[in-house]
Structure 1
Amino acid sequence: MRPQDLEQLVLPGDPQLHPDGTRVAFVVSELDLDDDRTARSIHLFDGARTRRFTHGPSDRAPRWSPDGHGLAFLRTSTDEGAKAQLALMSADGGEAVLRTDLPLGVSDLAWSPDSERLVLVAAAWAEDVADLDDDERRRRPKRVTRLPYRTDSGGWVHDRTDHLWLVDRDGDAEPQRLTTVDRDHGDPVWRPDGQAIAFIAKPDAASDLEPHSQVFELDVDSGEVRALTAPGSWQWVGYAPDGRLFTVGHRDPYDWPGNTGVFWCRPTEGGEFPFEPVELLAHLDRDVSPGAPGMATRGPQFVDGGFLIGVEDAGTVRLVRVDLDGWDADAASPPAVTDVISGRRCVTGFGVRSDASAVAFTVTDPATPGELIWLEVASGEGSESGTGSERNVTDLAKDFRAKVDLRPTQRFDVERDGARIDAWAVMPNGFDEAAERSVPVLINIHGGPTSQYGDYFFDEFQVEAGAGYLAVGCNPRGSSGRGAEWAQAVVGVWTDHGSVDTLDLEALVDATLERFPQADPERVGIMGGSYGGYATARLIARSDRYKAAIVERGLLQWESFSGTSDIGPYFDRMFLSASLPDGVDAHRAASPVATASSVTAPTLVLHSEADYRCPIEQGEQYFAALKRAGVTTEMVRFPDETHELSRGGSPKHRVERFEVVLDWHARFVLGKDGSDADDETAPTPEASPQVR
């Protein structure tokens, strides 16, 4: 795979099953390098064939009306600065009608149970800037009164707030704003009786230095809002058809890193709040908010007698059924859980019939970028038990496979300190026949750290292998998918640069060289983004075994991160078990900037200028520290890009990023630098390194 082959990828996502249980709407995404945009359209599987269903420039988030007659979705035009708006169309097809023209666009939607109205999430300007035009707003000094005042997903948000809006399905009446409190509101869901809407927002008296959120309910007729649960870290809320309330998240935000749980909200009498969340799946010791790329289904989907939910498990994302019929909430035993979809793959989205007899799901594995699959469930169990019948609905990767030489992936174990670490390697062309110690190696480190590499298609590994490298990565302690203890192993230990995750990653390098005799120990490069950038910077300060390094969008100086990142006010407490001002010594001891003078590997600092998760000042400080230490270094800055550059940046920038990465490793891992280091005619990344 070459960098420009990104344009060949066609990816499905967000499958939505029609109420009749026979049709599936889903989103197809593809990159358009000519127009430098990601094109999205909604496709329909009608039980017999698949066809494109909408023809807008960018359509996403399809949602069937409960009566089955309509489809709502979000449409974004190609006009400069255009925002997503609500579009409606018949379930039988035809022209879509734009139902809103809100200045800041619509970000989420949910149908009322009677299909007559929809609740929307849309931002509104603060009163002092609402009447200004765009130019006046840009020129006006920014008055900041809260944290965060900018977010990685939303940019500058100091002058706007997300609110709930109500809009009729028919007619042309303007959307009615439902919420007034100056805080962000999100994840709305209608109560089954249609009289109230539950949503998630920051608690009334919460400090903006804390990550707390709370489940609220709004009475649609009166506008009255009441809190349903105690403050926690709630990420999703939903009602079962019988009216029972469920939520996903943590009782305490500082339970994270750890397993995100699914909770039944038990009614209480006489308590401060009407519901008490009861965790249902703690016995699984797995995260139910999967972090696999593209996972759009964040909470349960309800079926007769229970629900289905995705579970992250040792590099896979499987789908399980939780049975609530006959379960006694007061008993010691948890509800029964059975696999519906498992295997060495990752489910990225799903829709299910109400009787659980069929599931439509999108899935990826190391050789499959993504497809939509239809599963008929014979007896409530999944395909792995032999009772289910799977059928590929799409073949979106057909042209991609015909044009791109996908390299094989091998999963292997790394043993250290009595623990088994899951690892993956993607082999370059000719690897099996290559001479001993002849193939260069690139060590990759994922972000998070509470996320995972896994059994999914990863363009990064394929591009590296396509350029002739053995691409390797693992899930060290601190990753997700292996339980709470595994994820929490890194909490409070990063002041020691020989922490458990660092040693796990060093063991990966040793295990790779031992397992693959073709791997060249004299040509090992290393790179990572976000936490991966942090870990890379720590590793290269401990050893001179790496010929080159790329530190991408990293957390590199904890003190300034605490004041500039959109998660800075609390992220240090979560991982360092320390916060400012008392924790200043821990912040400095855990910062790679402090150990930059020990680095010997030529190091590229790669950062996005609109990254508000790990702001660019992090990269600037590290680059300057490397310069002061006399390290061979360069900094590449991508304008107008966020922390999500490698996954969701502009198509041209994503290709250019790959070219920058391959060029750096070609120069220093492969030794193609010499006097060409500053020469514009230096080897291009398309010139794949040869095994020697």
Structure 2
Amino acid sequence: MRPDQLGDFRVPSDAYLHPDGERAVFVVTQMDLDADEYVRQLWLWDGTSARPLTSGRADFNPRWSPDGGTLAFLRKGPGDDGKAQLALMPIDGGEAETITDFELGVSEVAWSPDGTQIAVVAGEYVDGIDDDEERQRRPRRIGHPSFRFDTKGWTYDRRSHVWIIDPSTHERSQLTTGDCSETSVGWSPEGTTITYLSATGEDRWVNPHNQVFTIPTADGEPHAVTPKGSWSWSGFAPTGTLYTLGTVTDRATLRPSQIHRVTWDGALDQVTDFDRNLNPQHPASSLSAPQFLEDGTIVCVMEDRGAHRVVSIDTDGAVSDVAGGRRLITGWCPSDDGSSAVLTVSTPTQPGEVVWWDGSRETVLTSLNDAFLDEVDLIEPQEFTFDSNGHEIHGWVYLPPGNESVPLLFNIHGGPATQYGWGFFDEFQVYAGAGYGVVAVNPRGSSGYGYEHVSAPCGRWSDEMPPDIADLIAAPAVAAEQFPRLDVGQKGIMGGSHGGLATAMITSMDQSYRSAVAERGVYNWVSMAGTSDIPFFIRLYLETDMPDGVDEMWKASALARAHGITTPTLVIHSETDYRCPVEQGQQLFSLLYKQGVETELLLFPTGEGHELSRGGAPKHRVERFDAILAWHEKHLTPAV
């Protein structure tokens, strides 16, 4: 696969089963490299074949009305400033009609059980300024430290609230108000109550605490039904019982979220005791979150050892496997009785298709990527494991076709609480296609292997040899022992975010790498404090913070060790990265330059953030690949 083929594959998502149990709607996303944009359209499986349903360039988030006669979805207008609005389309004929004009657009849609109302989450400015040019001109008066967010921009002057829309008259009424934002709306079975998530505490600007609330759809006040904690979902069972996904905590935590039942007296009854993450998508998807069957059984997607599997939890808490395999299940929408489902799946050699499950067998419904797969030779990875100080480390190797030796290109993921796995990843296919043997592992700190594994780096990055770094340092040699085509004499390393941090730390300790790419990393925890959009992250992983922890924070910083780096290093960053602000990359680049290390800074312009490699402008994604391949080719000898 080549970088210029990024626009040739399509990715399905949000596959929702029609109430008739036979049809399904889903979103298809494809990059248009010429227009430099993502095209998202709704498609329909009509029971026989799949076809485009809408012709918009940015249609997404589809939701069937309960009677199946109308499809609600979000449609974004043309241009970068277009805000997504609610649109309705009669499914048996007729054009889609956009029925809202919220100032900052709509982000969520949920039909009431009787189909007479639609709840939406819509944004608005709260600064009292009516003119956008004047808003941009004025100095910003900021009263709390969480004033911007990566990919969203400035957030201090806006809030999101729940509104109720009448789909017949298009009239709207505001349900929630105030200085806090709401997300993740859901209806009670009788349609008289809405549940949502919101952070309302005074410390919400520096700690990721939120609560589950309910509010009557008629006159009434919101009611908090959980203590403060880390909550990602809430929903009503068919019986009207409220369930939640999360954990009660007064600080950021890596402990797996559990499903809880809210009892009649307001207490929380923990239903599950998983040592894996539920709802693993990034960002979280409503189709990987818990969903109810008509008998009260819960089905949801679980992250496990580089894969996703679907599990069911009955009303007594008993857990059963429903679907799995060496793949990522990126969405699962069951029928009411659970006898069938429509799902979206991805494998290392398949960017994605929509699949029908009938309770025992699966049938692929779409052929979205047949043309793409005919023109590329995607590599099937080979799995391996090894022991690192008594801990099993799991990884994969992607080898180009042939028998000759190939340079070893070691990739390190971000997070660190995420995972590489059994899904399609354009990065690995492009690098293998360019003649490199790609090695990727899930060291301690990765999710999908239990709490002990994911929490291992916490408080340890100031150690002489942090546990995740020890795993990563050992991985290339172990991989080369098991896959002799990998040439450790020609070894490159690269990673983004936590992977950028790890790249800098490893090359400061191990000078055998001939090429390095450090991307969007955090290299100086001291300057990260107070500048990142996730201020809780430092205390979570370093177990200290400013001002008392300044010495420990510097000791844990990659820059504190960077005097040992000799490997030629390309530093990549984006100007509007609010997760790991741009000064992080600038500091690493400047230090390497002063030390006489061969280095360059590839800086992407305003508008690109931390998610550039996954969701940046298509042309920038191609240019990023071109720069990375040119850098490695300069210092390594790929087998092409």
Cα distance in 2 for partners of 1:297, 1:565 equals 30
Q: TM-score, normalised by structure 2?
A: 0.97
Q: Give the direction of change, closer, same or farther, for the CA distance of 1:252–1:576 in structure 2 (3 Å limit).
A: same
- 2:559 equivalent to 1:593: yes
Indicate the SS of the match to 1:646: helix
- The answer as to whether partners of 1:120 and 1:165 remain within 8 angstroms in 2 is yes
Identify the residue that residue 562 of structure 1 maps to in structure 2. Answer: 529
Cα distance in 1 for partners of 2:248, 2:3 equals 43
Identify the residue that residue 471 of structure 1 maps to in structure 2. Answer: 438
- The answer as to whether partners of 2:309 and 2:329 remain within 8 angstroms in 1 is yes
- 2:385 equivalent to 1:418: no
Identify the residue that residue 510 of structure 2 maps to in structure 1. Answer: 543
User: Which deviations, in whole Å up to 9, do the C-alpha atoms of 1:435-466 show, x marking residues without a partner?
Assistant: xxx31011001111110001111110000000
Q: Give the direction of change, closer, same or farther, for the CA distance of 1:555–1:451 in structure 2 (3 Å limit).
A: same
Cα distance in 2 for partners of 1:292, 1:567 equals 16
- 2:327 equivalent to 1:345: yes
User: Which deviations, in whole Å up to 9, do the C-alpha atoms of 1:8-47 show, x marking residues without a partner?
Assistant: 1111011111122211111000000111100001111122
Which of 336, 339, 342 aligns to 1:354? It is: 336
Q: Give the direction of change, closer, same or farther, for the CA distance of 1:592–1:494 in structure 2 (3 Å limit).
A: same
What are the equivalent positions in structure 2 for 1:499-514 lying under 5 Å apart? 499-514=466-481
Residue identity opposite 1:297 in structure 2: L
Q: Any unmatched runs of 5+ in structure 2?
A: none
Identify the residue that residue 580 of structure 1 maps to in structure 2. Answer: 546
Does 653-662 or 14-23 show the bigger shift? 14-23
User: Which deviations, in whole Å up to 9, do the C-alpha atoms of 1:251-302 show, x marking residues without a partner?
Assistant: 116462231222222232xxxxxx33333221x3111121478855342111
What are the equivalent positions in structure 2 for 1:182-331 lying under 5 Å apart? 182-252=179-249, 254=251, 256-268=253-265, 275-282=266-273, 284-291=274-281, 297-303=287-293, 304-324=295-315, 327=316
Cα distance in 2 for partners of 1:429, 1:423 equals 20
- The answer as to whether partners of 1:294 and 1:348 remain within 8 angstroms in 2 is no
Q: Give the direction of change, closer, same or farther, for the CA distance of 1:512–1:62 in structure 2 (3 Å limit).
A: same
Which of 477, 480, 483 aligns to 1:516? It is: 483
- The answer as to whether partners of 1:645 and 1:654 remain within 8 angstroms in 2 is yes
What are the equivalent positions in structure 2 for 1:85-164 lying under 5 Å apart? 85-129=85-129, 131=130, 133-164=131-162
- The answer as to whether partners of 1:236 and 1:298 remain within 8 angstroms in 2 is no
Cα distance in 2 for partners of 1:265, 1:669 equals 58
User: Which deviations, in whole Å up to 9, do the C-alpha atoms of 1:526-570 show, x marking residues without a partner?
Assistant: 0111111111111111010111111111111112212111102x1
Task: Give 1:204 shift.
Answer: 4.0
Does 216-225 or 453-462 show the bigger shift? 216-225
Q: Any unmatched runs of 5+ in structure 1?
A: 269-274, 328-334, 378-387, 671-688
Cα distance in 2 for partners of 1:205, 1:602 equals 46
Identity percentage of aligned residues:
45
Indicate the SS of the match to 2:509: coil
- The answer as to whether partners of 2:209 and 2:251 remain within 8 angstroms in 1 is no
Which of 484, 487, 490 aligns to 2:454? It is: 487
Identify the residue that residue 574 of structure 2 maps to in structure 1. Answer: 608
Q: Give the direction of change, closer, same or farther, for the CA distance of 1:446–1:420 in structure 2 (3 Å limit).
A: same
Task: Give 1:79 shift.
Answer: 3.0
User: Which deviations, in whole Å up to 9, do the C-alpha atoms of 1:316-366 show, x marking residues without a partner?
Assistant: 100011111xx2xxxxxxx11111111111100110001000011001111
- The answer as to whether partners of 1:9 and 1:30 remain within 8 angstroms in 2 is yes
- The answer as to whether partners of 1:530 and 1:555 remain within 8 angstroms in 2 is yes
Residue identity opposite 2:390 in structure 1: G
Indicate the SS of the match to 1:634: strand
RMSD: 1.5
Identify the residue that residue 56 of structure 2 maps to in structure 1. Answer: 56
Cα distance in 1 for partners of 2:464, 2:626 equals 31
User: Which deviations, in whole Å up to 9, do the C-alpha atoms of 1:191-241 show, x marking residues without a partner?
Assistant: 222112111111344442211101111222114111111111111111111
- The answer as to whether partners of 1:197 and 1:220 remain within 8 angstroms in 2 is yes
- 2:353 equivalent to 1:371: yes
* Matched pairs, number: 638
- The answer as to whether partners of 2:477 and 2:488 remain within 8 angstroms in 1 is no
Residue identity opposite 1:315 in structure 2: G
Cα distance in 2 for partners of 1:351, 1:207 equals 33
Cα distance in 1 for partners of 2:462, 2:527 equals 16
- The answer as to whether partners of 2:207 and 2:252 remain within 8 angstroms in 1 is no
Q: Give the direction of change, closer, same or farther, for the CA distance of 1:316–1:555 in structure 2 (3 Å limit).
A: same
User: Which deviations, in whole Å up to 9, do the C-alpha atoms of 1:592-627 show, x marking residues without a partner?
Assistant: 111111101011110111111111111111112212
Indicate the SS of the match to 1:192: coil
Does 468-477 or 589-598 show the bigger shift? 589-598
- The answer as to whether partners of 2:228 and 2:250 remain within 8 angstroms in 1 is no
Cα distance in 1 for partners of 2:418, 2:194 equals 32
Residue identity opposite 1:339 in structure 2: D
Residue identity opposite 1:79 in structure 2: G
Q: TM-score, normalised by structure 1?
A: 0.90
Does 18-27 or 535-544 show the bigger shift? 18-27
Q: Give the direction of change, closer, same or farther, for the CA distance of 1:610–1:93 in structure 2 (3 Å limit).
A: farther
Task: Give 1:424 shift.
Answer: 0.6
Residue identity opposite 2:415 in structure 1: G
Which of 491, 495, 498 aligns to 2:465? It is: 498
Indicate the SS of the match to 1:630: coil
Task: Give 1:172 shift.
Answer: 3.8
